Amino acid sequence: MIPHNRPTLTLREQRAVERVLSSGWVAQGAEVQAFEDELCDFLGIPHGHAVMVSSGSAALYLALWVLDGNRKRIGVPVYACSALRNAVGLIGGESVCLDCASDSPNADTSLLDSKNIDILIATSMFGIPIDVPDNRNYMVIEDIAQSLGASVSGKKIGLRGEVGICSFYATKIMTTGGQGGAVFSRNKEIIDAIKDYRQFDCREDRRLRFNFQTSDLHAAVGRVQLESLPNFMRRREEIFSIYADEGLKFLDTNLKINQPVRYRAVLLFDKPLQMIQSMAKMGITAIVPIEKKELLDGFNKYPLASYLATNSISLPIYPTLKSVDAARIAKIVKGFI
C-alpha cells in the first residue's frame, strides 16, 4: 500500500541518535543549541534568534504568550489545523475565524480591515505562502508548519511578523523524530523571553513557567533532517512535476513572486471520497486534507473553506515516493477527471 505520507528517515538519523545515546546526555543540551543555531542559519537570522520546543502546538502557544494574547482578538484561518484553535483557547484569546481567499487555501487577509483583530496567525497552508499585508495595525505570528523553506520574492518566509513558528511533527516537511517545534524572531528579546519561560526548573524567582523543553535525541534527528531539507524540497518538486505533466491542476497561487514548497499536492475534485475509495482498492492512499468537520468554526459560515473541505483531495508527495509510482498515480487520477 502506498501511504499518503511517510517521513524520510535514513541511517544518518539512526547514527545521530546513537551518537547522543553514547554521550550519556539525552535531555536538552548541546544538540538542541546546535539545532537552534543551524535553524537560524537556514532562515538567515543571527544565532540566538530561534528556540526549539516540544511541539508545533507548544511553539504557537508560546508565540501567543509572548505577544500577551490573553483576551486579545486573534485572527485564525478557519481552514486549518485544530492546534490553532486550541492554542488561542488555552491562552485565553478570542478566535476570529477567516474564510479562505478565492484562489488559495490560505486565509483571505483582505478581510482583516473589518475584523478589528489584535493578532493574526498567518498560516501558509500546503506549502503555499500566505499574503502578509505590509501596512497593518495588528501583530503577526507567521505559521510555517507546512511551508518551511518556501519563499516570497527570493526571501524565505517565517519572519514577516513579530514571531514565526514551525512544527517538526512526523508528517511535516522535516521531522525531529516525531514531535518538535520552534519559535523564531528578528527580535531577540522575544526569543529570550520564551527561553526563560521554557527553562522552568532550578530558578531563584517564583514566576510561573512550564516545561516546553525537547531533547538532544530529537535535536540530533532534526539536525540531519535540516541538512537534508533542500533535497527533500527538490524531490517533492520533482514528484509535483510528474503530476502536473499529466495535466493535473493543483491549488497554487502567484508563482511569479512566490516559491512554494510542495508539502501537499491538493487538487479540486467534486467527488473526493469516491476517488479515495477507488484508489485504496488499487493500493494508493489519498485523503481529504481538511474535512468539513475539522473547520475551526461553523461549516455554513465560510463558503470558500467549505468548498475546499468537500471538493479537494491530497495525493502522496513524500520524498521516498518512487517516480514510477507517482506516474501511475497521476494516470489513475487523470482517469477520474
CATH classification (class only), 229-336: alpha beta
| Identity at 217, one-letter amino acid code | L
Q: Round to whole Å and give the CA distance between 79 and 262.
A: 18
- In this prediction, residue 256 carries a pLDDT of 66
CATH fold of the domain at 11-224: Aspartate Aminotransferase; domain 2 (3.40.640)
Count of residues for the chain? 337
In the chain the first and final C-alpha atoms are separated, in Å, by 23
- In this prediction, residue 253 carries a pLDDT of 58
Query: For the range 331-334, what are the long-range contacts, defined as Cβ-Cβ under 8 Å and sequence gap of 24 or more?
Result: 331/246, 332/279, 332/282, 332/284, 333/243, 333/246, 333/248, 333/267, 333/275, 333/279, 334/246, 334/247, 334/248
pLDDT digits 0-9 by tens, 101-131? 988 999 999 989 888 999 999 999 999 999 9
* 113 secondary structure, DSSP code: G
- In this prediction, residue 140 carries a pLDDT of 98
- Say if residue 71 is exposed, middle or buried (CB neighbours under 10 Å; 0-12, 13-18, 19+): exposed
- Map out the domains of the chain as residue ranges: 11-224, 229-336
Q: Round to whole Å and give the CA distance between 152 and 259.
A: 6
Please report the DSSP string for 158-225 in residue order.
S-SSSEEEEE-BTTSSS-SSB--EEEE-S-HHHHHHHHHHH--SS-SS----------HHHHHHHHHH
Q: Round to whole Å and give the CA distance between 268 and 249.
A: 8
Q: What is the pTM of this model?
A: 0.96
- In this prediction, residue 183 carries a pLDDT of 98
Averaged over successive runs of 10 residues, the pLDDT of the chain (337 residues) comes to 97 98 97 98 98 98 98 98 97 97 92 92 97 94 98 95 98 97 98 96 91 97 98 97 92 75 95 95 97 92 96 98 98 91
What percent of the chain clears pLDDT 90, i.e. is strictly above it? 91
